[in-house]
């Protein structure tokens, strides 16, 4: 069966109109007719449908590793074979290429278009290159700033998954929820993420 948004909209609107008319039944016929007329006239608006083209795709992470645009260590970061060979969006590839050439990048693209990969993959690529050169020493290499704790926590979860097999790259979060001492911090971590070692 083909999904038709206009049909669905009309069906839902009619059902809701019927519900309102029966729930707020008015005994006086003149007022009831006026009420029903107003409900039928403009109780719902729409449908508002936004049609956007799909984003242009390019090569995969595997392709970028083969072209030496990404460090071979990405196979440790992207450990699912399907993800390694999934095509990235063109703007993600452009961002990786420009960042690799020490260019500044500004990403302005729609929701769900992979903005995180645009900045995260170049950062991870730089760190993997430092690991290969044996120049990765303790210290902060990048700051990721988020306006809400929920976004920061989502990013931490993602980093844990990506860097599960790359212990050389460490990361942490500092938010208003960050505890003042190690014991409280470890307890909070284990409450959130289980008893798996935090370090």
Write out pLDDT tens, residues 174-189.
Answer: 887 788 888 888 887 7
Return the closest-CA partner of residue 113 out of 155, 53, 154: 53
Write out pLDDT tens, residues 2-37.
Answer: 778 788 888 888 888 888 888 888 889 999 899 888
Return the closest-CA partner of residue 43 out of 70, 84, 9, 6: 9
Q: Are 129 and 141 in contact (CB under 8 A)?
A: no
Confidence at residue 198, expressed as pLDDT on a 0 to 100 scale = 46
Q: How far apart are the C-alpha atoms of 85 and 63, rounded to whole Å?
A: 8
**Phi, psi (degrees; rounded to nearest 5) at 118:** -60, -35
Confidence at residue 183, expressed as pLDDT on a 0 to 100 scale = 86
Confidence at residue 1, expressed as pLDDT on a 0 to 100 scale = 65
Q: What is the mean pLDDT of residues 80-91?
A: 92
The domain ranges of the chain are 5-42, 56-140, 143-199
The two structure tokens encoding residue 117: 């990969």
Residues near 118 by beta carbon (within 8 Å), at least 6 away in sequence: 91, 92, 95, 96, 105, 107
Q: What is the mean pLDDT of residues 26-54?
A: 81
Return the closest-CA partner of residue 118 out of 76, 146, 145, 90: 90
Write out pLDDT tens, residues 119-174.
Answer: 999 999 999 999 999 999 999 999 999 888 888 888 888 899 999 999 999 998 88
Q: Are 20 and 78 in contact (CB under 8 A)?
A: no
Q: Are 179 and 188 in contact (CB under 8 A)?
A: yes
Least confident of 46-50, 79-83, 137-141: 46-50
pLDDT bin (cut points 50, 70, 90) of residue 199 is: very low
The two structure tokens encoding residue 143: 């700051």
Angle between helices 29-42 and 5-23 (to 10 degrees): 160
């Amino acid at each position: 069966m083909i999904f038709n948004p206009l049909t669905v909209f009309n069906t839902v609107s009619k059902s809701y109109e019927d519900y309102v008319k029966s729930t707020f039944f008015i005994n006086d016929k003149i007022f009831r007719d006026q009420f029903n007329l107003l409900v039928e006239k403009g109780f719902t608006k729409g449908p508002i449908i936004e049609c956007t083209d799909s984003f242009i795709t390019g090569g995969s992470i595997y392709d970028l590793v083969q072209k030496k645009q990404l460090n071979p260590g990405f196979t440790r970061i992207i450990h699912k074979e399907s993800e390694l060979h999934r095509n990235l969006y063109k703007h993600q590839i452009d961002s990786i290429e420009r960042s690799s050439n020490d260019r500044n990048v500004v990403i302005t693209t729609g929701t769900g278009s992979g903005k995180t990969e645009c900045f995260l993959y170049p950062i991870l690529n730089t760190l993997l290159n430092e690991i290969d050169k044996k120049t990765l020493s303790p210290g902060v290499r990048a700051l990721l700033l988020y306006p809400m704790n929920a976004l920061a926590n989502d990013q931490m979860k993602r980093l844990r998954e990506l860097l599960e097999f790359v212990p050389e790259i460490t990361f942490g979060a500092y938010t208003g929820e960050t505890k003042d001492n190690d014991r409280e911090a470890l307890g909070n971590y284990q409450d959130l993420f289980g008893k798996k070692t935090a370090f």
